[in-house]
Amino acid sequence: MTALALVSAGVAALLHLLFFKLESLDWKKPKTWKTFGLESQAEADTTAALAFNQGFYNLFLAVETIVGIVLVAASDTRDTIGWTLIVFACASMLAAAVVLVSSGGKPFARAAAIQGLPAVVAVISGLIAAT
C-alpha cells in the first residue's frame, strides 16, 4: 500500500505542478486559455490575476505533497509528518475536484476526474499504509 500511496501522490503532485504552469505562467497563451474554455485574449487578460493566484494554490499543494513523499520515503515509512502532509494535501486536491464538478457540472467532469482520481487513491492508500 505504501508504494501505491507514494506513486499516486506523486502523480497528483506532478499534475498540480502542471496546473501551476498553465495557470500562473502560460495563462495568456491562446492554447492555454482555450484549454480552460475561454473565448478570447481579452477574457484571458481579464482573468489572468485570478488564474495566477489559483496556480500558486496548486503549486503549494504539490510542494506539500512532495515534501510528504520525501519524508516518508526517507524514513521507515512510518513518518507521521510525511503521511499527514500527503493525506492532507491530497485530500485538499480531492475536495477541489469535488468543488469543480459540483460547480461546473458535466463540462468540468473530465478535469475533476483528472485532478481527483490520483488524489483519492493517495488518500485511501495513504491512510491504510500509515496505520
Q: What is the pLDDT of residues 18-30, one digit of tens each?
A: 999 999 999 999 9
CB 66 within 8 A of CB 90: no
pLDDT of residue 107 exceeding 90, the answer is: no
Q: Does position 110 have pLDDT exceeding 80, yes or no?
A: yes
CA distances from 44 to 50, 70, 81 (A): 10, 36, 39
What is the average pLDDT across 37-53?
Answer: 95
Q: What is the pLDDT of residue 54?
A: 96
Mean pLDDT in residue range 62-91? 94
From the list 48, 51, 69, the residue with the least C-alpha distance to 59 is: 51
Q: In this predicted structure, what is the pLDDT of residue 104?
A: 82
51, 70, 107, 124 from 35: Cα distances, Å: 13, 32, 12, 30
DSSP string, 52-94: HHHHHHHHHHHHHHHHHHHHHHHTTS--HHHHHHHHHHHHHHH
Exposure on the CB side of residue 49, measured as CA atoms within 13 A: 1
Answer yes or no: is pLDDT of 131 > 90.
Answer: no
| pLDDT at 26 (0 to 100) | 97
What phi and psi values does residue 26 have, to the nearest 5 degrees?
-115, 10
Mean pLDDT of the chain: 95
Predicted confidence (pLDDT) at residue 77 exceeds the cutoff of 80: no
Share of the chain above pLDDT 90, in %: 90
pLDDT the model gives residue 76: 80
